[in-house]
Amino acid sequence: MSKMKLCALCVLLWQFVVPALALDTLALLGTGPSKTLLQDKKPIVAEAKGSVPVNFDAALHVLRHPDFITHVQDAYCELIDEDGTPEFTIQKTSTNTYFYVNRKDERTDITEVVRRETVEGCFDIILYSAGKRFFGAYQALIHIQVLKEGENNSTYVASVYAYPENAFNRFFARHLGVVERYFKKKTGHMSEIVTTITSSLCEEEVQPALRAGFQQGLPAGEAGS
């Protein structure tokens, strides 16, 4: 098979293997780069889901806080403080924009697009980011949906939509799986962090609920670990 035919076949297959989206992210987006990314491009999609042993109302108190991102940063630093140096520090630049530079001197700019209870018992957070990694410049959209499940348990679904800017890197990295594996690995890591950080941030809210007689709260030793 010629290289041209092989490339054409890869393009054709790509149209059918893009995974179905678990979250209706597009419906929550207004006009802007985040909507353009999802509507007009074919981003790589990585998904994760799990549960957090915290009451949904306690989670709402944390998620609605004006300094939510800053609190996440503080909790994240506590988690990885073994060598005293976090991988990155998020800096706030305006009401809804942030940036960080990682240890490889790679900058990422973040915009908080959505953070609200969209329907009763469902809270959505959508972050748009742009930066550079080993495969070049990229855009990404992170959508985390937190759902009420029972008296003192919440579930979450996370979708990451990533788009490498360079066409050459986008085509070959996608089909070699390099970039896709990178974002899926990061999404899995994010899933673990979401569980631990949310438990830690909600601890003060959950403890009164436990004293009030809820059947289950944070597992011993998990909060603040």
Residue tagged 């092989």 (tokens) = 6
| Cα distances (Å, whole numbers) of residue 154 to 111, 190, 214, 218 | 25, 17, 14, 12
Q: Higher pLDDT residue, 172 or 69?
A: 69
Quick one: pLDDT band at residue 68, thresholds 50, 70, 90? confident
Q: Is the pLDDT of residue 125 over 70?
A: yes
Coil/strand/helix, residue 125: strand
Q: Tell me what the mean pLDDT of segment 158-178 comes to.
A: 70
Q: What does the pLDDT read at residue 179?
A: 55
126 pLDDT above the threshold of 60: yes
Asked whether 103 and 87 are in contact (CB, 8 A), the reply is: yes
pLDDT digits (tens, 9 = 90+) for 9-59: 233 223 333 333 458 999 999 999 999 999 998 888 888 788 878 888 888
The domain defined by 32-211 folds into Alpha-D-Glucose-1,6-Bisphosphate; Chain A, domain 4 (3.30.530)
Query: How sure is the predictor about 176, in pLDDT bands with cuts at 50, 70 and 90?
Result: low
Q: What's the pLDDT band for 122 if we cut at 50, 70, 90?
A: very high
**Whole-number pLDDT of residue 163:** 87
Check pLDDT > 80 for residue 148: yes
Q: What angle do CA 22, 141, 109 make, to 5 degrees?
A: 160
H helices of the chain, in order, are 3-17, 33-40, 56-63, 68-79, 167-176, 178-211
Mean of all residue pLDDT scores within the chain? 71
Residue 54: the pLDDT is 82
> Given a cut of 70, is residue 63 above it in pLDDT?
yes
d(CA 32, CA 44): 19
